[in-house]
Every structure is written in structure tokens, then in C-alpha cells.
Structure 1
Amino acid sequence: MVKKLLPYLGEYKKETILAPVMVALEVVFELLIPLLMAQIVDHGIQGDGGVSYTIKIGLLMILLAVLALICGGLSGRYSAIAGMGFAKNLRSGLFSKIQTYSFANVDKFTTASLVTRLTTDITNTQNALMMILRMAVKAPIMLIGASIMAISINPRLSMIFIITMPILAVALYLIGSRAHPRFLTMLEKYDGLNEKVQDFIVNIRVVKAFVREEYEEEKFGDSAKAVRDTQLKAEKLVILNMPIMQFVIYSSIVAILWFGGNMVVSGDFYIGELSSFIMYMMQTLISLMMLSMIFIMLIISRASFSRIIDGLEEVPFLDDQGADPTLDLVDGSIEFKQANFSYNRDPNNLVLKDINLRIESGQTIGIIGGTGSSKSTLVQLIPRLYDVLSGEVIVGGHNVKNYQLKTLRDQVAMVLQNNVLFSGTIRDNLKWGNEHATDDEIIAQAKAAQAHDFIMSFPDGYDTELGQGGVNVSGGQKQRLTIARALLKNPKVMILDDSTSAVDTATDAAIQSAFKNSFKDVTTLIIAQRVSSVSDADKIIVLDNGEINGFDTHERLLESNVIYQEIYESQSKGVSANE
């Protein structure tokens, strides 16, 4: 698992190596100090070394302490640089991987889960690395070094803490094996909490409009309680580590003082040797405590490791394998051949069934049908946001799978049902369609989308700052901006997914007229709820429960298609009643 994350150390390999090197030097200096202290007691104070010997050894101890302090500080600095750099690279790598996901991959993980992986999970991993670079190096070196020094001083007395080590090892193993699944569950609850926060913040205007703050507070409280309960359940096991560790340490101290004191009284052991032995024993037990802390951190982080690796190793449902990098989309012709589609890849639960139709390049095609008739699903197959379960989707004379995704999607502009704008200026948002677009091109496409006039009504015009998600423009204005943004791509296929539903009929008619007069070579597909929005189209697709119920002109459908007749008549009656 760790091997899969090591490549993300990247340019911070030097700091990753230097941190444990400094830690090792720090431990060496610390291990020498108790030995020198014993020399002072046994030879300087009780022996014939005198004051000069005591001062000389004392100064050497101070020097070792200063060197240990310097090495410790450097190891902390290097581990911090390595840990934060590793987190940066890992976060960038995971974000880049998510960029390759298809809609189906995102649906599998959920947005909230991906946010948790990019934040909480990577922070846990960063902390684990920083701890490993210091404690995981310091603890074993100190454990081995202090044990060797203690054994060399008194092998019999050393048996006390040698016996305690297996007890701690067994206890830690039992704690760790049972805690890991609980921490996995805790992180899943974090996903749910993030989802509630995201829903509330994004939809805060709706919440306030319906005065549902208390309801949202209750939902958030339930999610927060679920996180607390699962965290408490996991921590109940982890907190056992400290009392077990303290019991072993204090028991060892008492035993060493008892047996060591008797040895001193009987003359088998010097006081200086006992004091240094106790210090080495403390270093041994402290190193064991550090190992237990590392163990607990790894238990917590292991769940994060696995979730991050799952994200990195996720295979996109859509990729460029088998695509021809030289293939270009030459025109906007579209053809569906016996196309079937299911979101869960289940042939017994098809969303689109046996779709057969051909659209000539430059045609304007309307798509109409009831709610849930799979209008949006049909058009999402054209830029290959999803793949058909069976059959073919052909654009520009070639199967969409033969194009590289960038080549295909650069030539298919899509205005989705959910109009999304980003923080920044209107100009910045429009340039998402073409980052190299000139001001003249931006203004021309804004005029075609009937957006120029309202943009210029703002004091800062195209430099007007939009709030997050475009909260300071109306729904109709947002739709027109997203249409202008799509037009700037200069595509061969334009898909408008119910993207004029929030504009008045006059503006809608003006947009359709602009498309017809200025974009004759662009194949345009218009999903609409209003018949008036598609009545001038070359042909209209009538969808019913995922099947094509009709595909003809407005006039012929009025004559022959029952569903289209019902939609037209119901809307005509509504217009008459309003008049």
C-alpha cells in the first residue's frame, strides 16, 4: 500500500532522506549521554576523577545535548517539508485522476466522498508520513541502542523490560486489528457529513425561501452525531493503548528500582550504573510508547491510505484506448445505430432502447418528451459523457470511441440543464469556451446568445465579478451566458439541454433565429419543454420512456404523432387561458 504512494514524494526525496538521517544522529547523541552521566557519578564524584574530570565529562554531555537538539530541529524541519510536499503532490495527483473520471465514476464515489479523500484523508496521510520520518526511525534505533546499552550494563536486570515487550506487542496487535474497520466506517460517515454541508451551502437560498433552517439543522445534527458515534466506537479501542503502556512502564520502573536497589546494597551494582540503566530503560520504554503512537496513527491512516489508493487506481469507465490520435471530426453529422443504454450497465434495465436515427450535418433538431423520457441521456452519448451498452453512436462519420475524448469534446459544445458559472468575471467565464478568444469574438457570441445587452447594463460590463455559481445574475441571464460560452468553442455540434427554459419567449425566439442565421453549418440539438422552442427545427425527436416515438417535422408530427399532438394542445390551451 505504501509503495503505491511513494512516487508522490517527487522533488522532496532529499528532505525525506535527510529527516531520518538527522533523527538517527539525534538518537546516537542521546544514547551517549546516560553513559557519560554514569562516568561522572562513578568516577568523577565517587571515584578519583575529581572536579576536573566531572567538568570535562559535563561539558561533553552539554555538547552532545546541543548536537541532539540541532539534529532534532533539522529533522523536524525536513520532515515537515517532505510531509507537506508529499501531500501537495498526492492531492494534485488525485485531483488529476478525478479529472479523468467519467460521469459514471463520479456517480460511484459521490462528490462528498471525493472531497473527503482530497482533504481529510490526505491530511491523515501527511501526518502519518511526518510521524514515520521521525518517530518510526527514532523509536526502533533508540529501542535497539538503549536495549544494547542496558544489557551491556546489567544483563540480568535487562530481563525485566525484555519480558514486557511481547506483552505490549500482543496488546497492540489486538487493538489494531479491531480498530481499522471502525475507522473505515468513521470516514464513510465523514463522507455523509460533507454531503450534507455541500447540499446546504449550495442550496442555501432554497432553504431560506422555504424556511427550512431547523430541518437542515436536524439533518446536520444527525450526520454529526453519526460521525461522533463511529469515532467514539473506534477510539474506545485505541485509547486502551495508553493505560496498557503506562501500566507496563510503571511496573518495569518499580521492578528495576527494587531489584537494582538490592544489587547496589549488596555491592553488585554501582549507583552510577543504576542511574544510567534507569535512563536507558526509560529510553527503551519511551521508544515503545512512540512505536505505539505510530501504530495508532497508522491504524487511523490506513483507512485513508486505502481510500486514496482506491481513487488513484479507479479505472475510468471511458478512456482513449483504441482511439486514433490522428482522427479529426470533420462535420456535425450524427447517427445512432441500435443504441441501448443503462446507467448501471444492466441490459434488463435500459434507459434508452433501440435508438436508430440519422441527423445530417448543419441540421437543427428538436427533442421533446415527458419528464423521465431520457432526453438528456440521449444527448450525453454524443460527446461520450457515457458509453452505450450496445449499438453505436457515430459522429462525423466515425464511432465516438474512435476519437480521442479531447478531439470529440472540443467539437461538441453542450449547455447542460444545470447551468454552472464559476467565481470570476463574466469575461473569465465566457473564456471557458475559448481561452484565446478576442474581445470582438466574445461580444459577437454574447450578442448571438442575447446576453450582450444585460452584460453592458452592469457598471463593469464584461469585467463584472460573478459570485460563486453566478448567484448575482438571474436564471435567464445565467442560461444566456452559458450559451455564449458554448458558442465560443466554435463547435460542429451544439447541444442545448433545456437551456432556454428561464428566458421569455421573445428572447428564446431571438436566440433560435441567431442560431438559424449565423450558425448554419453547426448541427444543433435543442431539448425543450415548449413546442414553440423547437417548432422551427428541421426535425423533432419525440421520446417516450427511452424510445423514439416520432422523428419528423413539426407539421407532420402534428398530423400523425399522438404524444406530440397532446403536448402541443396542452400548451396551446395554456397560452389561450393566459391570454
Structure 2
Amino acid sequence: MSLAKEKESSGEIVDTKVLKQLYRYVQPYKFQFYFLVFLTISLAILAPTRPYFIQVAIDDYISVGDSQGLLKMVYILVGLMILQAVVQWAHTFYSGWIGQVIIRDLRVKLFDHLLKLKLKFFDNTPIGRLVTRNVSDIETLADVFSEGLAAIIGDLLQLVTILGVMFYIDWKLTLVSLCTLPLMIISTYIFKEKIKVTFNDVRNAVSNLNAFLQEHITGMNIVQIFNREDREFEKFKEINREHRTAHIKSVLYYSIYFPVAEIIQAIGIGLVVWYGAVGVLGMDIQVGVLISFIMYLQLFFRPIRMIADRFNTLQMGVVSSSRIFKLLDSTEHIANEGDFKPEKVKGHIEVKDLWFAYVDEDYVLKNINFEVKPGQTVALVGATGAGKSSTINLLSRFYEINKGSISIDGTDIRDFELSTLRKHIGVVLQDVFLFSNSIYYNITLGNPNITREQVLEAAEMVGAKKFIERLPGGLDYNVMERGATLSVGQRQLISFVRAMVYNPEIIILDEATSSVDTETEELIQESIEKMMKGRTSIVIAHRLSTIQKADQIIVLHKGEIVETGTHETLLEMGGYYTQLHQMQLKTMAI
């Protein structure tokens, strides 16, 4: 599968629609959120108090030698500093706490949503990109609350408060102090626009990098088999180079902006000192006022310097949020509107006028009709792409039917509650997926209702018990990722046990023995017959020798049924099935 690079626009700075969607996740924590707002306002009010009391201490007490009054001011300043430290701690803690609980809830919701999506969605979406959504993008949302929205509101309130106090104390000195403000605003705006683009490039690069790594690590055997290591390594270096370039651009802009901001602030302070010193010498300005204004300027320019960074943090949070909500808004989920929950089914399957397409109206199944009576075994055969696997995927509702219907015991499968439908159908696939966990977990998939005795009983039925008991730890043996420590045949046997332990009434074998050698196939063939005994079975097999005893064989060609009958009757017809049979005989002879 080729990897399409992700390119997404950064969007507006503040997308109110996305923020409203985020606010829905704040609702369960309204008390903490409003408390955080209160703390934000408190910090904005406390910020300018220290310079003001220092000014009062200098002009009203130090200048007149009032030591008692000065001591009182020291106590007030110490108390204010302690109060500000406590409020700052609470603000930092609650902003981080709210961010973490929200991303926890959102990550759970997103993963739950992914579990319900159609397989068609995963066919068209790189897994690495979904990992980015569920990990990196959601993690970015925490910064919206800790370093984004709350911090921006706090900075703006602090600016307004400081400016108000400065004008109240000395409006002329305030105007002089603000002479460099236009320069600071212009440089901050330019920085914000530049860094916004680079931040978005970084997010896209991370997504592309994750998707590339996931795809190529999973398919490493193909890369090595076809000697593509050097070529794929060059591709990786290119994607990694783009990731590095995006980061370096952001570092470059930071390295330019902050020194420029410091110079502008220094110029502003220099103007204040010059104008204030003239005023002090002329007895128009008190020394405490001049000192407090220097402190006010430092407090005033700090949030301006930071606000650009805050806006971009908010911006990236909004971008990540929009990506996540876009995924959550996806309608490619399997509709689970049925409420039929039978304890048992007989296994009578009817397929009527079935049409199905993966894309638009490019049908891979056309007007399929067949019936499987309870306890019967039906085999689907045909060339690759004939529609065999598509048919059984529709039976388990991994994909939705375009036209027609499939029913079990006379009830449309869409009327079944989804988990109930799948509980009655055991599926054994050709490509066996095993999790990096114990054999016991891979068979039960964490179902606490399945005992070890049941697992061993099912293993005995399909002939897997002996090899499991020979492994270190038996059922507790860790198979590693994708069952790397087991042979193909052993993995397939585990998949048989996994299907049988749920005791389904319907069994589907999708080329379940095509990956094992002939000797292993002969060993498990008897177990497969036991497994299918008394159950409705649908078998897909390339090896026609394995389905000769089927009650009915359905031959598919280009999505249509071309022949039906038993092995003997189909051979007598001398049609498409006969051609397939003769081709396999020639292959075996060779």
C-alpha cells in the first residue's frame, strides 16, 4: 500500500465550532473549569500589585525614613508573593488536570469509535495516521488547557490590568512606555504567522512519519524479500528530513523573535528611564514611580512575547481537535440497530439477490443466491477476486450489503444485535493475527467467561493440545507480536481453537489450511471435520481436495455464481469447476 502524505491546512486561529465541541467534554468537570477561570482572573489581578506596593514602600516610607511603615509593606509583599505562588500552583495544577482528564475521555471515545468502524475505513486509511490521531493529536489537546486557552485569557487580563494601573499612576509615563508597543505587536504578529505554518508542517510530518514507520515495520519481510532496504531507507530519510526541517524552521523563528522582543523591551525600558530620570530630576516624578514602571514594563512585555506562542499552541490544539472530531464524525460505522438476540440459532442461511461493491457501483458480487441448510457444509470456490471472501465478510457484517439480503433462520442479519450475530459465527481466516500475549489470551481474547478447561477441550478437538503443552508455560506461553515465535501451522491451529472455544453454530473457514504444509493439513483435516460436525459450515478453499465432501459447492467467477452442485456432479458438467480441478491436478503432478 502506498503512503499518501498528509497535507492539511491549519485553519483559522480560533475555530469556534471546534471550541464548542471541546467544551462538551468540559461539561462533566464544570466546577473545576470555573474554578480555573477564577484562578486565571485572580492571577491577572495579583500581577500588578507587587510593583505598586514597592512604589508605595519607596515613595511613602523609604524616602521619609519610616522603618515601621516599611516593615508593614514588607509583610504585605511577602504575603502577596505567597498568595500569588499558591494561586499560580493551583492554576498550573488544575489547567493540567482538566487537560489530562479531557484527553483521557476523548481518547477512550475515539478508540471506542474506531472499534465500530467498517473494515472498509481501515482498508483506505493508513494505520499510522490513526495512531497519530489517538496519541499525538489527542496529547496536543492537553496544551489547549494548560498552555493555550486559559493562558491566553490570563495574559490578556493581565495586560489590561497592568495598563489600567499604569495609566492611573502616570498617564504621560505610560504613553512613553508604550512607544515601542507597535514594534512589539508587529514582530509578534509576524512570528505568530510564521510559527503557525511551521507547527502545522510539524504535525503533518509526524503523521506521515508514523504512517510510514507502521507500514514498513509491519511489512518488513516484504521489504527484505525484494531487497528494498536501501530504497525504503532513502524514502524514510526524506520523510525524516522533512520532519527535521519543519522543526528547525520553528527553532529558527524562535531564535529570531525572542532576541528581537528583548531588544524592543530594552528600548522601551531605556525610554522610560530617560524620561523618568528627567522627571525625577525636575521633581515631577517620584523615584518609586519610575522603579515601578520599569517593573510594569517587564510584566507587560512578557505576556506579549508569550501570547504568540500561546496562540500557536491553541492553533495546533484546534487543528488536532478538528482532525479528531472529523474522525469521530465519520459515518463509516456499522449500524447496530437490530435488537434480535437469540441464545441459539439453527444455522439456516439464505442469500437472496445479493449485490455488493467496495467502491461506488463497481460490484464485486452480482445477484448472488444460495441456501445453506442447518448442519450442511457449503464450499465457495473460484479464482482470486471471484468474490468468495466478500461473501463471508458480508455474512458477519464486516461490510454492509448494497442490495439484497442475507438471513439466518429467516431473520435478516441486519435485525440481529451485532455482537449476538458474530457470537453465533466462528471465523477462521488464512492470515492469522496473534497479539503479543499468552496463548490463553489469544484464544479467549480476554473473555473472563471462558475457562482454561474449555480452552484445553477445544484445543484437544482441533489437535492443538499436544503442541501447546510442549511449549514453555503451555497456555501461558507468550507468542510475541503477530505470533512470531510460532510456525504458520501452529498459528493456524490456535485460530481453530479460538473459533471453537465460543462453540458457534456457524463455522466459516476462509482458506484456513492454505498457509500450512500438506503434512500439517492432513493432521488437522480430521479435526476440521469434527469441528464442522453438527454445524452449518461455509468453506473457502483453493485446494479442491479439501472440499470434496461438501454438501454443495458454489463456483464463483467475476462476482457471479456460474455453477453449483456436489464435487461429482460438477466434474460431470465439464465446466469451470472441472477446469479448476484439472489445473490443480497438473500443478500437483509437477
TM-score past 0.5 threshold: yes
More displaced 10-residue stretch of structure 1: 188-197 or 514-523: 514-523
Gaps of at least 5 residues in structure 2 are 1-17
Q: 2:385 aligns with which of 355, 363, 372?
A: 372
Q: 2:169 is matched by which residue type in structure 1?
A: I
Q: Is the 8 A contact 2:432 2:491 kept in 1?
A: yes
TM-score (norm 1): 0.90
Q: 1:6 aligns with which of 13, 23, 30?
A: 23
Q: 2:323 is matched by which residue type in structure 1?
A: R
| Counterpart-to-counterpart distance in 2, 1:174 and 1:302 | 20
Q: 1:337 is matched by which residue type in structure 2?
A: K
Q: How does 1:24-423 map to 2 (within 5 A)?
A: 24-46=41-63, 48-132=64-148, 135-160=151-176, 183-184=199-200, 186-205=202-221, 207=223, 212-230=228-246, 242=258, 245-246=261-262, 248-321=264-337, 323-325=338-340, 330-344=345-359, 346-347=360-361, 349-423=362-436
| Counterpart-to-counterpart distance in 2, 1:447 and 1:433 | 20
* 1:162–1:547 distance in 2 versus 1, CA, 3 Å: farther
* 1:406–1:170 distance in 2 versus 1, CA, 3 Å: farther
What SS does structure 2 have at the residue aligned with 1:381?
helix
What SS does structure 1 have at the residue aligned with 2:214?
helix
| Counterpart-to-counterpart distance in 1, 2:355 and 2:510 | 20
| Counterpart-to-counterpart distance in 1, 2:188 and 2:382 | 62
Aligned residue number for residue 488 of structure 2:
475
Describe the superposition over 1:59-100 as per-residue Cα deviations: whole angstroms up to 9, x where unpaired: 321221122222222322333322222222221121111112
Q: Is the 8 A contact 1:15 1:81 kept in 2?
A: no
What SS does structure 1 have at the residue aligned with 2:482?
coil
Q: 1:78 is matched by which residue type in structure 2?
A: Y
| Counterpart-to-counterpart distance in 1, 2:395 and 2:556 | 16
Q: Size of the alignment, in residue pairs?
A: 573
**C-alpha RMSD of the superposition:** 2.8
Q: 1:336 is matched by which residue type in structure 2?
A: V
Q: 2:62 is matched by which residue type in structure 1?
A: I
Quote how far apart the aligned CAs of 1:207 are: 4.5
* 1:293–1:444 distance in 2 versus 1, CA, 3 Å: same
| Counterpart-to-counterpart distance in 2, 1:181 and 1:319 | 39
| Counterpart-to-counterpart distance in 2, 1:262 and 1:101 | 73
Q: 1:496 aligns with which of 486, 495, 509?
A: 509
Describe the superposition over 1:113-133 as per-residue Cα deviations: whole angstroms up to 9, x where unpaired: 110011111121112221147
Q: Report the identity percentage.
A: 28
Q: Is the 8 A contact 1:26 1:69 kept in 2?
A: no
Q: Is the 8 A contact 1:19 1:79 kept in 2?
A: yes
Quote how far apart the aligned CAs of 1:172 are: 5.5
| Counterpart-to-counterpart distance in 2, 1:433 and 1:81 | 31
* 1:410–1:174 distance in 2 versus 1, CA, 3 Å: farther
Q: 2:287 is matched by which residue type in structure 1?
A: I
Aligned residue number for residue 12 of structure 2:
none
TM-score (norm 2): 0.89
More displaced 10-residue stretch of structure 1: 158-167 or 22-31: 158-167
| Counterpart-to-counterpart distance in 1, 2:199 and 2:353 | 47
More displaced 10-residue stretch of structure 1: 96-105 or 391-400: 391-400
Q: 2:270 is matched by which residue type in structure 1?
A: V
Q: Is the 8 A contact 1:37 1:276 kept in 2?
A: yes
What SS does structure 2 have at the residue aligned with 1:465?
coil
What SS does structure 2 have at the residue aligned with 1:466?
coil
More displaced 10-residue stretch of structure 1: 131-140 or 290-299: 131-140
| Counterpart-to-counterpart distance in 2, 1:405 and 1:504 | 35
| Counterpart-to-counterpart distance in 2, 1:202 and 1:149 | 62
* 1:477–1:272 distance in 2 versus 1, CA, 3 Å: same
Gaps of at least 5 residues in structure 1 are none
Aligned residue number for residue 11 of structure 2:
none
More displaced 10-residue stretch of structure 1: 232-241 or 116-125: 232-241
What SS does structure 1 have at the residue aligned with 2:47?
helix
Off by >6 Å, runs of 4+ in structure 1: 233-240
1:460 matched to 2:460? The reply is no
More displaced 10-residue stretch of structure 1: 175-184 or 273-282: 175-184
* 1:269–1:220 distance in 2 versus 1, CA, 3 Å: same
More displaced 10-residue stretch of structure 1: 227-236 or 301-310: 227-236
Q: 1:37 is matched by which residue type in structure 2?
A: I
